[in-house]
Amino acid sequence: MEQAIQNIIIVGGGTAGWLTAGILAAEHNADNGKLSPSPKLNITLIESPDVPTIGVGEGTWPSMRTTLKNIGISETDFLMSCDASFKQGSRFINWTHDHQANNSSADHYLHPFSLPIGTNELDLCPYWLPHQEQVSFADAVGQQNQLSQCSLAPKQITTGEYQFQNNYGYHLDAGKFSQLLQKHCTEKLGVRHIRDHVTAIHKNDRGDINHLSTKQSGELQGDFFVDCTGVQSLLLGEQLNVPFVCQKSVLFNDSALAIQVPYPQADSEIASCTHSTAQTNGWIWDIGLPTRRGVGHVYSSSHTDQAQAEQQLIEYLRPTVNIDVDNLDIRKLSIAPGHRKVCWKNNCMAIGMASGFIEPLEASALALVEWSANTLAKQLPSNRQVMDIIAARVNQRFGQHWQQIIEFLKLHYVLSKRSDSDYWHDHRESSTIPDSLQQQIELWRTQTPNKHDIQYTDVLFPAASFQFVLYGMEFQTMSPSHLKPSLQNRAQQLFAENVKRTQGLKQLLPTNRELLAKIAQYGLPKI
């Protein structure tokens, strides 16, 4: 029980496995991205040579900048190696009202990555409400809505690596990202890599995982095991019998069609946000990389079939793709919306899809991988004796995160006024809406979302995220009856500052494509 935790075995590669390996090694074995002479942990990653990774998780949150910096990867190298571009948020198109395809009057709004201006000083949302007919919430409190509509970058070529004028994450090629992480972890951070088949998982008398049997590498013994085996969840789910909590009754999407398409011209604009366009029975993601777009249709098989979903995807692509869209290589993916009851049991923690997945909306999957891996790295117990105490604490936060993810994603559907299918009607049925979300919506009819609505710290979605979605989708909140004149004056100053900053950045910033071309030629300044 008091034996030190020294040997970590990660089962499964892909983005989840290699990010976990890099974060663990950077925390315990490296200094400024370089391997220490006396590593504390022995980290081994084993993956089957025959199991392909899904490779469609192409959007990150701004947290990825910190992760890459901490594990010692140059931003210039990352951008060039992973066919990556800049992402400043998610734009939601046709989510609020019914629209015919190609309707120029489509409704849209942005959930940006930058927090509202003056956040640390004043919550501007109540002060915006009286002016909502004149200016959208996103334009009143930030610049990214207008900047992203112009496909502008979040920084200049003179801005240092991982620094910014406007907060940003990335769009990336998931397969190339895994390859970069693997190379960096094995060559720079001392992670041992084994390509082999796990043939058996053996437990000891306490129920902990003791060792793995492999086809060619013999037995691999570890003190702690990380399950990155995807939806199979071979360790946490199958071996340790942690139950799966299905969420299909709340969020219906269980299928996706994914495709990669070229740009019509080599100099086509690269979108600086993910485009999420609502469809009759689901929605379509559209992600811009430097050399191609990643596009996919997420839908509910209970409300439509694959042929209809594929036809809608083709009709979406037809106006912007100069190829035979009727003969495209479309991949079918199945989604089991839900999560494991806990992510950590005994001496095993599941990270990535092994712990759960709902749907790609708002791109929370990689962010949850980062949270899980960082949590393990920071709270890794020194010995087995205290492990269960830490596991209970981590599992509590894991449950809180999933509840918030589910409620935040559901909010997008609940607020919709679309009436063109049972899919949208069913999403608004009270029996499919969590009670706590229904209570919050009722509260938000009388007051704007604020930090007191969230009952724990270290949240994935702050109150501002709820504000952007609510008011992007035309939600109505009563205007406050009383606002302090001094704070009203300060709010007006911040609104004015935001207008001035928006105008300045629109003149200053290059487009995504222009900046990426300069980075390829000169690189970003090192910090």
Who contacts 194 (Cβ-Cβ below 8 Å, separation ≥6)? 44, 45, 46, 47, 214, 217, 220
Tens digits of per-residue pLDDT, 178-190?
999 999 999 999 9
Answer whether residue 65 is part of any domain: yes
Q: Which domain covers residue 34, as residue numbers?
A: 7-83+170-247+337-403
Answer whether residue 520 is part of any domain: no
Residue 120 has what pLDDT? Answer: 92
Strand partners for 193: 45
Residue 57 has what pLDDT? Answer: 60
Answer whether residue 523 is part of any domain: no
33 pLDDT higher than 80: no
Answer whether residue 26 is part of any domain: yes
Answer whether residue 24 is part of any domain: yes
Specify the pTM: 0.95
Give percent of the chain with pLDDT exceeding 90.
Answer: 88
Per-residue DSSP letter, 252: -
Instruction: Give mean pLDDT, residues 326-351.
Output: 94
Answer whether residue 447 is part of any domain: no
What domain count does the chain have? 1
255 pLDDT higher than 80: yes
Q: 89 by DSSP, 3-state: which?
A: strand
102 pLDDT higher than 60: no
In CATH, what number is assigned to the domain containing residue 205? 3.50.50.60
Tens digits of per-residue pLDDT, 399-434?
999 999 999 999 999 999 999 999 999 999 999 999
Q: 227 by DSSP, 3-state: which?
A: strand
Answer whether residue 93 is part of any domain: no
Tens digits of per-residue pLDDT, 436-483?
999 999 999 999 999 999 988 889 999 999 999 999 999 999 998 888
Q: Any idea of the CA torsion for 135, 136, 137, 143, to the nearest 10 degrees?
A: -90
Who contacts 453 (Cβ-Cβ below 8 Å, separation ≥6)? 440, 443, 463, 466
Q: 60 by DSSP, 3-state: which?
A: coil
